Amino acid sequence: MTACFAASSGQSIPTYVVSPQNFDEFRQSLDAKTKSWVKSNQFSGKLGQALVCPDQEGGFDRALLGIGTPEDRKRARFCLATAAQKLPPATYHLANDFDLPSKDYELFGWLMLGYSFTRYKETKTPVPSLVAPDWADRAKIEAMVQAETLCADLINTPTNDLGPAELEKEARELASKFGMDFKVIVGDDLLSQNFPMIHTVGRASASEPRLIELRHGTKGPKISLVGKGVCFDTGGLNLKPASSIGGMKKDMGGSANVLALTRMIMDLKYACQLQVLIPAVENSVSANAFRPQDVLISRKGLSVEINNTDAEGRLILADALAYAGERDPDLIVSMATLTGAARVAVGPDLAAFFAGSPKNAAALRVSAEKAKDPVWELPFFEPYEDLIEPAVADLDNAPSGGRAGAITAALFLRRFVPNPDRYIHFDIFGWNLTTKPGRPFGGATQGARAVFHALDDLVNP
């Protein structure tokens, strides 16, 4: 099922958004019969309440949605969707003004009720549809929905149908849709073109490793987006346990988020010189897999000792970040399902991020709230630099002890960018563990909307 606005046909049901604060005033506007119906159904505007009022012909005269108090709303990301999900399938339009922050993203949440992953099993559950209000920024909302569903579909697709080659195909199709330049470096060509760590991580798989690149624009700020594309992560020779290997189709969630952000930028015609880089690999086990205690020489020339083959994401990102930095961009953003430590720190629903500039961190916090895309800053904590410096190489890909894992991973990546003040790194989960209103189970964007809405601030010193 797709998530989109319904066509305006004149047959939609007028829908009133009500809170406990304005309920008494709203009730006074109702006729006696409707007042009685509202009272008998104990509707009072509480968060998540939904009520349809019958008409004389057995249809619906109107619908009421409760959005609760400001305190209630702190626990619900999408208040309209929390109530609208309980409406019977029909087409609705909003008939009154209401006081909610980020009203466009309340509509986004409603539209996302219509998403389901149907590649392997058709879902026939009907949902309430919504006509776009006159006040809504329809182009923006629909662009965000399309980006979200692109990301979800990519992450939800298993690796037998979305390995490195198939991820390349998806990126190529996106580039073609928007007239972007497209390039890919595959297999041993990675060695001849100096992307040794991408090659090393992916060489054990039957599906060759590759670096996917999309470009667009010749004017405006230079923006580079780098997304981790580990299409499946066994952990390599440091094999993952059964308890964690099952979810590893989503280890390309960083690349899916970067492609979603790319779609937002292109759909809404943000003027910039855009570069998108996706190192796409499978971290597999075979006779030629890389080993613990191997020392790799990166594109930047830094040597890296391998102390855990399951810390592979930072290796492929490092080569891509070094390449991105060679064009001296105004902004580099990396997105990756990188560490379990970030999930321990902030849980699955917050996107942990690291920003070299306090100004950029502040801009992201503001835009995240507006876009209903929660983020939380973690520090590039300088005293932990010693933890990523082993005795035998410049860098250690997996410091012993397991402490501050998200921070040490971010510090590792920062070594490969030319200007840390212009660098932002997201360590995301990329997955909704359960279905919640406007947030279907499975693959999801995290941080992408926040970045998009902050771009003007992020690219200006």
Q: What is the CA radius of gyration of the chain?
A: 24
Answer for the pair 451, 364: CB distance below 8 angstroms, yes or no: yes
Distance, in Å, from the CA atom of 100 to the CA atom of 73, rounded to the nearest integer, reads 10
What distance lies between CA 406 and its chain's CA centroid? 18
Hunting for tokens 């990396």 — which residue is that? 334
Q: Give the Cα separation of 267 and 246 in Å (integer).
A: 34
Give Cα separations from 55 to 32, 60, 111, 194, 337 (angstroms).
Answer: 13, 5, 26, 71, 51
Max distance between CA atoms of the chain, in angstroms, equals 82
Q: Please check whether residue 253 is in contact with residue 431, taking contact to mean a CB–CB distance below 8 angstroms.
A: yes
State the CB neighbour count (10 A cutoff) for residue 161: 10
436 catalytic residue (yes or no): no
Instruction: Give the Cα separation of 339 and 68 in Å (integer).
Output: 36
Cα distances (angstroms) measured from residue 146 to each of 26, 58, 141, 187, 249 = 35, 36, 9, 32, 21
Type of residue numbered 165:
A
Q: How far apart are CA 183 and CA 358, in angstroms?
A: 34
Q: CB of 357 within 8 A of CB of 457?
A: no
- Cβ neighbours for 65, distance < 8 A, ≥ 6 positions apart: 15, 16, 17, 18, 49, 50, 80, 83, 84, 87
Cβ atoms of 127 and 113 closer than 8 Å: yes
Cα separations in angstroms, 18 against 63, 131, 304, 343 = 10, 18, 58, 36
Question: What are the start-end ranges of the E strands in 337-444?
Answer: 351-355, 375-377, 395-396, 423-427, 431-432, 442-443
10 Å CB burial of residue 14 (0-12, 13-18, 19+) is: middle
- Residue of 240, 343, 365, 436 marked active site: 240
Which one is catalytic: 103, 228, 314, 439?
Answer: 314
Spatial CA neighbour of 440 closest among 204, 44, 151: 151
Q: DSSP secondary-structure letter at 186?
A: E
- Residues annotated as catalytic are 240, 314
